Amino acid sequence: MERTLSIIKPDGVRQGVIGEVIRRFESAGIRIAAMKMLQLTQAEAEGFYAVHRERPFFESLTRFMSSGPIVVMVLEGDGVIARNREIMGATNPKDAAPGTIRKDFASSVEQNVVHGSDAPETARTEIAYFFSEMEIC
């Protein structure tokens, strides 16, 4: 069964949409296989987003991602990587389709409420960044 890493970012937790985001996943028939809340240090956020380290928004993004608690989840289901990205909507909320999480709750291209892995290989590394196999049910 396919797995992906989902993060409710600090802006999502601050807005109080943890339950709403989880409801959208469960309503779509996606199973939550692991979940926890934590706050990243900036160094830990830099490690997670290492692929973006040359991008101009890297410092701002990692500061934002370490600015408050986040909820990290492992989602499981057929085609869940693509389905999660559909439920999230486009990175920039201005481009996101109606009814997506980012259209409904994101305030900017940076503060866009959720993260989702973009491919099977990244899903594996991103899940391993936060969870041991024992923590995934």
Q: Which residues bind ligand ATP (CB under 6 A)?
A: 57, 61, 91, 109-110, 112, 115-116, 118
How many positions of this chain bind Mg ion (CB under 5 A)? 1
Nearest CA to 10 among 2, 18, 22, 19? 18
Three-state SS string across 68-80, please?
Answer: CCEEEEEEECCCH
Closer to ligand ATP by CB, 119 or 137: give it.
Answer: 119
Residue 57 annotated in ligand binding = yes
Q: In the block, which residue shows the tokens 């996943």?
A: 25
Closer to ligand ATP by CB, 54 or 133: give it.
Answer: 54
Closer to Mg ion by CB, 20 or 118: give it.
Answer: 118
Residue 23 annotated in ligand binding = no
Residue 14 annotated in ligand binding = no
Distance CA 34, CA 15 (A): 22
Cβ contact 110:96 at 8 Å: no
The yes-or-no answer on residue 115 being catalytic is: yes
Distance CA 90, CA 22 (A): 18
Residues at the site binding Mg ion, with contacts judged by CB under 5 A: 118
| Residue list, annotated binding site | 9, 57, 85, 91, 102, 112
Residues classed as catalytic? 115
